[in-house]
Amino acid sequence: MIKNIHAIQIILASSSPRRRELLTQLGLNFLVMPSNEEEHYQSDTPEEIVKELALLKASSVAKSFALPLSNTLIIGADTIVVLDGEVLGKPTDKQDAIAMLTKLQGRTHQVFTGVSLLMFEYNHQCKTNTFVACTKVFVNEMSLKEIQAYVESGEPMDKAGSYGIQGVFAKHIGRIEGDYSNVMGLPIATLYEILKKI
């Protein structure tokens, strides 16, 4: 087993600045190596989709190394927004973002994040730990003018569900049930508890 989390190499398989910020809050030193793998999935439930994609990202980064890994932890993560069973990904354009936000306003939706930990020990053996966090988010009613103004800010264009809870959209969030950091893309409280057991 890996004895000291601060003595191993940690790799975040994500280009998300929000995930980098959250992982930094745990006081860890890490490298950022985004996965270039296409995000195709076979699963059909939100929980399984994010688990599959998180593992795909972490595994893709692991495979990019020419030599077998040891004493290394790779963290992959994927987040989706789900409304009435429909997965809302990143918007393709401004009109798509407006359409998503129109669906979300005045209603409660779920945010699922899957996290996959690939732990390569000294003997090159890999242990995998994959988990899912879910947070319910209620968005206050918004006028079309408010939605259009938010989309014009550019903030929603690289975010699942077309919004970022930590940005200017925060004023439209009525309440949440669950982990706030999960909505940002990485449930750090759960991650921290798991890392303590490594």
- Give the Cβ contact number of residue 62 at 10 Å: 20
For residues 132 and 127, give the distance between their C-alpha atoms in angstroms, rounded to a whole number. 17
For residues 165 and 157, give the distance between their C-alpha atoms in angstroms, rounded to a whole number. 13
- Characterize 41-59 residue by residue with b for buried, 16 or more Cβ atoms within 10 angstroms of its Cβ, and e for exposed: eeeeebbebbbbbbbbbbb
- Give the Cβ contact number of residue 34 at 10 Å: 13
Task: Assess whether 78 carries a catalytic annotation.
Answer: yes
For strands 31-32 and 86-88, give the pairing.
unpaired
Selecting among 78, 96, 158, 179, the annotated active-site residue is 78
User: Which residues have a catalytic role annotated?
Assistant: 78
